[in-house]
């Protein structure tokens, strides 16, 4: 039994190479079908995201493609020269492939450590392969365990907690202050890139109303159209501050545009409702003393960055415990897969041997009783098949259950007992663990 | 005579052990809740919830036993019983919030100390006074209704304090700009504020109705032949403290809807109002001030 993970990621290859090898939407199915045609009997999953393109292959020793085979396949499928990407490919074999997949699913290999998308993308990749029927017992077992391990690592280490960008931390802060957003008004002062980025994240909270103001009315209008908001003339900033519950300020003004007195007046007009001000402009747009007002929370860009750094440190603390979990799960999963493969081989040999004997005995019987009609022959053949199935039912069930309970470090003695009892050839003289190492 | 005294002493010891059982279980639940910073597992939350529910079930059995002492009655018939009942309802609301609110919110950190505080106050500071409502008939019925309104008013006031403290903690965390310095999550400021507002309105309405029923009951049952020690006068400590409590709650309600007093001021007023409520409820008994409340002679009065 062999396992291979081969591909490129954000560490090993530049964006151009990743783009050239990507299986964009719809092409994953095409790729899986092409792999199944090119390497019959093998099992395949394609994981293609913004930062990685990987093919996971598994199967018997003769059925699993080698690195060169998959390199040639990728070159052929995408119509690119192998030398343009072969140097960027990274391969992992057997237990290494399992461990790599677990690290990917747990987001340890992601560009943003602990990000949550990769687990969903791994699940989608697995589902796509199941739908195209390119997954067999090996990759079923490995991917199902990977999805469980990815979740387990997040639960045990808290690696997915805390956001890692200023804009997404702003969303977290908004949720610390407000409970509902459908009745809230968001005011964006300035129509720059940072405001757009923050609004992009805040849009997920579905605020009731978005106001955008800028010294340049055309830019405010354009941003308002982009975000389905309302453009507000800059000279009406005072009234907009009264209406707004959440303010994002991103202007390039040299001096604060809102003084303490101005905002205190606005806050009185707001009847002292809760307010959150995210002053992400440099230099600052809001007088820092505004943050002392009751019911007002004011964060500037340095405060938000401090949150980001703290979240990153918290995630990094989880790496070592996560690796320990992955190491333990990798050893257990790979041993199980190998046991399953060994048991599958024994069951296949057993079935083949029984089929041979049944076929031989039926032929001999039919040769000696030539007067039998076709229907009699069919009835006898069915009876023999039933007899064979009933006779083998218990040995098969016992082997399957032995695999499920097997000690990861030692092959189950029942497998060699079955081989011995039924006179089957010994296909694996070494133990699975010995082979893995 | 000696046997009877020994038997009463034995019963009291048994009662103390029962109280220790559910208070200890709530204490363990609080310890599990405080372990949030160190233990990330979802099993920690399940353990906290299971211990709280277990403590609540044991307390339910305890209160059921109390209600069956003598003739059957709701266990709100004395300061001791009603404080125990209050802690029981607050614990139930705590369980509901633990299940309903996101698990990351540390409901138990705020609710369980209050529950434990009320149990300890009842056990150590409130003397086992005679029944407030003795006998039966309409007086007992309206006395119970009066007690129920005050009980649920006190539940709302307790929840107002809990949500107020949550607001203060969250506000402090946001103002200090240090993420996660408590090791647990809190509800948003808006949620705490809304919860606090609802609880204040509810407690004021319930306490007003409860006090009105109590006043009318006092007037209706005034016996011209009763001795001065048995009649409730307007200068009775219980009546005066109840009046004071009502005024503080009226100020609190006013403050709640006054924009300039939103936020920290209201929260601090909520804590003051709750302190007044606790004093009115059990302080008179605990300090053994002479009162004719409930037709009893009062802890400090003549036997």
- Residues of A serving a catalytic function are 50
Residue pLDDT, tens place only, B161-201: 999 999 999 999 899 887 655 567 889 999 999 999 999 99
| Contact list, B36 vs chain A (CB under 8 Å) | none
Cα A175 to Cα A172: distance, rounded to the nearest angstrom: 5
In the predicted structure, residue A299 carries a pLDDT above the cut 50:
yes
Confidence of residue B298 (pLDDT cuts 50, 70, 90): very low
In the predicted structure, residue B85 carries a pLDDT above the cut 50:
yes
Confidence of residue A407 (pLDDT cuts 50, 70, 90): low
Pairing of strands A185-189, A246-249: parallel
| Contact list, B103 vs chain A (CB under 8 Å) | none
The pLDDT, as a whole number, for residue B39 is 74
Residue pLDDT, tens place only, B281-296: 777 776 766 666 654 4
Residue ranges of B 192-211 with Cβ closer than 8 A to chain A: 193-194
A351 touches chain B (CB under 8 A): no
| A291–B40 C-beta distance less than 8 A | no
Closest residue by Cα to residue A2 from A138, A99, A105: A138
pTM equals 0.67
Lowest mean pLDDT among A19-23, A418-422, B84-88: A418-422
A382 touches chain B (CB under 8 A): no
In the predicted structure, residue A265 carries a pLDDT above the cut 80:
yes
Give me the residue from A177, A295, A299 closest to B188, CB to CB: A177
| Contact list, A179 vs chain B (CB under 8 Å) | 187-188, 190-191, 194
Percent of residues, chain A, with pLDDT higher than 90: 52
| B189–A274 C-beta distance less than 8 A | yes
B187 touches chain A (CB under 8 A): yes
The pLDDT, as a whole number, for residue A328 is 93
If one looks up domain A166-306 in CATH, what number appears? 3.40.50.720
Helices B137-176 and B79-100, axial angle in degrees (round to 10): 50
Angular region, A373: left φ>0, alpha ψ -120 to 50, beta rest:
beta
| Contact list, B193 vs chain A (CB under 8 Å) | 274
The pLDDT, as a whole number, for residue A397 is 86
Phi, psi at A11, each rounded to 5°: -90, -35
**Is residue B130 within 8 Å of residue B303, measured between CB atoms?**
no
Cα B190 to Cα B268: distance, rounded to the nearest angstrom: 17
**Is residue A213 within 8 Å of residue A230, measured between CB atoms?**
no
DSSP class of residue A396 equals: H
Pairing of strands A246-249, A230-233: unpaired
| Contact list, B40 vs chain A (CB under 8 Å) | 155-158
The pLDDT, as a whole number, for residue B291 is 66
Cα B219 to Cα A87: distance, rounded to the nearest angstrom: 97
The pLDDT, as a whole number, for residue B231 is 56
Cα A277 to Cα A269: distance, rounded to the nearest angstrom: 16
**Is residue A144 within 8 Å of residue A129, measured between CB atoms?**
no
Strand, coil or helix: what is A3? strand
The pLDDT, as a whole number, for residue B303 is 25
The pLDDT, as a whole number, for residue A318 is 87
Residue pLDDT, tens place only, A247-259: 999 888 888 899 9
Confidence of residue B11 (pLDDT cuts 50, 70, 90): low
In the predicted structure, residue A190 carries a pLDDT above the cut 80:
yes
B70 touches chain A (CB under 8 A): no
In the predicted structure, residue B3 carries a pLDDT above the cut 70:
no
In the predicted structure, residue B221 carries a pLDDT above the cut 80:
no
Confidence of residue B5 (pLDDT cuts 50, 70, 90): low
A182 touches chain B (CB under 8 A): no
**Is residue A35 within 8 Å of residue A76, measured between CB atoms?**
no
The pLDDT, as a whole number, for residue A433 is 35
CA dihedral (B250, B256, B258, B261) positive or negative:
positive
Query: CATH: 2.40.50.140, 3.40.140.10, 3.40.718.10, 3.30.460.30. Which one for A2-161?
Result: 3.30.460.30
The pLDDT, as a whole number, for residue A437 is 31
Give me the residue from A178, A179, A294 closest to B263, CB to CB: A294
Cα A165 to Cα B71: distance, rounded to the nearest angstrom: 66
Residue pLDDT, tens place only, B226-265: 555 455 666 777 778 888 888 988 988 888 888 777 788 8
For chain B, the average pLDDT equals 80
* Minimum distance, in Å, between the CA of residue A264 and any CA atom of chain B: 11
* Minimum distance, in Å, between the CA of residue B262 and any CA atom of chain A: 7
Report helix, strand and coil shares of chain B as percent, to nearest 5: 75, 0, 25
Residue pLDDT, tens place only, B127-153: 665 555 555 577 778 888 888 898 899
| A177–B179 C-beta distance less than 8 A | no
Q: What is the ipTM score, two decimals?
A: 0.79
The pLDDT, as a whole number, for residue B182 is 56
Pairing of strands A275-279, A296-300: parallel
* Minimum distance, in Å, between the CA of residue B182 and any CA atom of chain A: 14
Distance set, CA B100 to CA A2, B12, B77, B93, B97 (Å): 48, 38, 32, 10, 5
**Which pairs with CB-CB distance under 8 Å and at least 24 residues apart come from B244-248?**
B244/B276, B244/B280, B245/B207, B245/B273, B245/B276, B245/B277, B245/B279, B245/B280, B246/B207, B246/B208, B246/B211, B248/B272, B248/B273, B248/B276
In the predicted structure, residue B94 carries a pLDDT above the cut 90:
yes
The pLDDT, as a whole number, for residue A83 is 92
The pLDDT, as a whole number, for residue B2 is 47
Closest residue by Cα to residue B270 from B157, B173, B101: B157
A60 touches chain B (CB under 8 A): no
For chain A, the average pLDDT equals 88
| B188–A178 C-beta distance less than 8 A | yes
Percent of residues, chain A, with pLDDT higher than 70: 95
The pLDDT, as a whole number, for residue B292 is 60
Mutate to test the interface with A, among B37, B40, B166, B258 (most CBs of A within 10 A): B40
The pLDDT, as a whole number, for residue A221 is 92
Size of interface A-B (CB pairs under 8 A): 62
Q: Which chain A residue has the Cα nearest residue B262?
A: A272
| A162–B179 C-beta distance less than 8 A | yes
The pLDDT, as a whole number, for residue A408 is 59
Residue pLDDT, tens place only, A138-180: 999 999 999 999 999 988 887 777 777 777 788 888 999 999 9
Closest residue by Cα to residue A55 from A134, A117, A145: A134
Confidence of residue A117 (pLDDT cuts 50, 70, 90): confident
Cα A62 to Cα A427: distance, rounded to the nearest angstrom: 14
| A177–B190 C-beta distance less than 8 A | yes
A217 touches chain B (CB under 8 A): no
Domain regions of chain A by residue span? 2-161, 166-306, 328-436
Helices A117-131 and A27-38, axial angle in degrees (round to 10): 50
The pLDDT, as a whole number, for residue B9 is 59
* Minimum distance, in Å, between the CA of residue A408 and any CA atom of chain B: 27
Residue pLDDT, tens place only, A358-393: 999 999 999 998 888 989 999 999 999 999 999 888
The pLDDT, as a whole number, for residue A380 is 93
């Amino acid at each position: 039994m062999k396992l291979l993970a081969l591909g490129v990621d954000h560490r090993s290859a530049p964006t151009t190479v990743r783009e050239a090898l990507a299986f964009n939407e719809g092409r994953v199915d095409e790729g899986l079908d092409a792999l199944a045609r090119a390497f019959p009997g093998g099992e395949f999953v394609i994981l293609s995201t913004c930062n990685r393109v990987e093919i996971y292959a598994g199967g018997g020793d003769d059925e699993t493609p080698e690195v060169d085979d998959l390199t040639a396949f990728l070159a052929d499928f995408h119509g690119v020269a192998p030398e343009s990407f072969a140097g960027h490919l990274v391969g992992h074999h057997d237990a290494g492939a399992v461990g790599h997949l677990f690290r990917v699913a747990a987001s340890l290999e992601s560009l943003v450590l602990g990000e949550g998308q990769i687990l969903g993308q791994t699940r989608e990749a697995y589902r796509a392969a199941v739908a195209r029927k390119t997954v067999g017992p090996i990759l079923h077992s490995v991917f199902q365990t990977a999805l469980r391990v990815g979740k387990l690592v997040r639960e045990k280490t808290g690696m997915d907690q805390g956001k890692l960008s200023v804009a997404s931390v702003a969303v977290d802060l908004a949720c610390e202050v407000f409970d509902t957003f459908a009745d809230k008004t968001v005011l964006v002062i300035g129509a720059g890139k940072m405001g757009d980025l923050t609004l992009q994240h805040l849009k997920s909270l579905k605020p009731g109303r978005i106001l955008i103001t800028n010294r340049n009315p055309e830019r405010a209008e354009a941003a308002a159209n982009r975000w389905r908001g309302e453009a507000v003339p800059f000279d009406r900033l005072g009234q907009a501050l009264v209406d707004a519950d959440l303010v994002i300020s991103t202007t390039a003004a040299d001096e604060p545009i809102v003084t303490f007195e101005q905002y205190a007046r606005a806050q009185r007009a707001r009847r002292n409702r809760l307010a959150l001000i995210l002053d992400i402009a440099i230099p600052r747009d809001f007088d820092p003393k505004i943050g002392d007002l009751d019911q007002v929370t004011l964060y500037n860009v340095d405060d938000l960055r401090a949150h980001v750094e703290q979240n990153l440190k918290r995630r990094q603390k989880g790496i070592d415990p996560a690796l320990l979990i992955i190491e333990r799960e990798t050893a257990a999963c790979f041993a199980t897969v190998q046991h399953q493969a060994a048991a599958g081989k024994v069951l296949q040999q057993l079935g083949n041997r029984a089929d041979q004997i049944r076929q031989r005995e039926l032929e001999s019987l039919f040769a000696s009783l030539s007067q039998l009609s076709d229907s009699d022959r069919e009835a006898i053949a069915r009876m023999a098949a039933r007899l064979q199935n009933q006779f083998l039912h218990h040995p098969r069930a016992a082997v399957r259950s032995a695999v499920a309970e097997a000690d990861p470090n030692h092959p189950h003695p029942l497998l060699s007992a079955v081989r011995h009892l039924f006179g089957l050839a010994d296909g694996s003289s070494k133990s699975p663990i010995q082979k893995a190492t | 005579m000696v046997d009877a005294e020994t038997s009463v002493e034995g019963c009291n010891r048994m009662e103390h052990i029962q109280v220790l059982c559910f208070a200890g279980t709530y204490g363990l639940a609080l310890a599990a809740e405080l372990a949030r910073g160190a233990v990330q597992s979802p099993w920690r939350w399940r353990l906290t919830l299971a211990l709280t529910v277990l403590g609540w079930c044991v307390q339910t059995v305890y209160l059921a036993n109390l209600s069956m002492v003598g003739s059957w009655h709701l266990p709100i018939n004395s300061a001791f019983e009603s404080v125990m009942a209050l802690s029981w309802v607050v614990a139930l609301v705590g369980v509901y919030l633990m299940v309903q609110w996101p698990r990351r919110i540390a409901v138990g950190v705020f609710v369980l100390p209050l529950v434990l505080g009320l149990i300890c106050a009842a056990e150590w500071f409130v003397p086992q006074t005679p029944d407030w409502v003795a006998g039966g008939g309409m007086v007992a019925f309206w006395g119970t209704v009066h007690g129920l309104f005050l009980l649920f008013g006190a539940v709302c006031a307790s929840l107002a304090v809990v949500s107020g403290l949550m607001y203060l903690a969250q506000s402090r965390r946001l103002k200090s700009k240090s993420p996660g310095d408590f090791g647990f999550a809190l509800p948003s400021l808006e949620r705490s504020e809304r919860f606090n507002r609802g609880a204040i309105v509810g407690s004021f309405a319930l306490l007003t109705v409860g006090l009105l029923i109590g006043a009318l009951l006092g007037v209706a049952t005034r016996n011209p032949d009763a001795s001065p020690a048995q009649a409730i006068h307007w200068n009775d400590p219980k009546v005066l403290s109840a009046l004071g409590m009502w005024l503080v709650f009226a100020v609190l309600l006013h403050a709640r809807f006054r924009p300039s007093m939103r936020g920290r001021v209201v929260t601090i007023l909520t804590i003051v109002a709750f302190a007044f409520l606790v004093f009115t409820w059990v302080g008179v008994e605990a300090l053994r001030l002479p009162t004719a409340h409930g037709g009893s002679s009062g802890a400090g009065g003549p036997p």
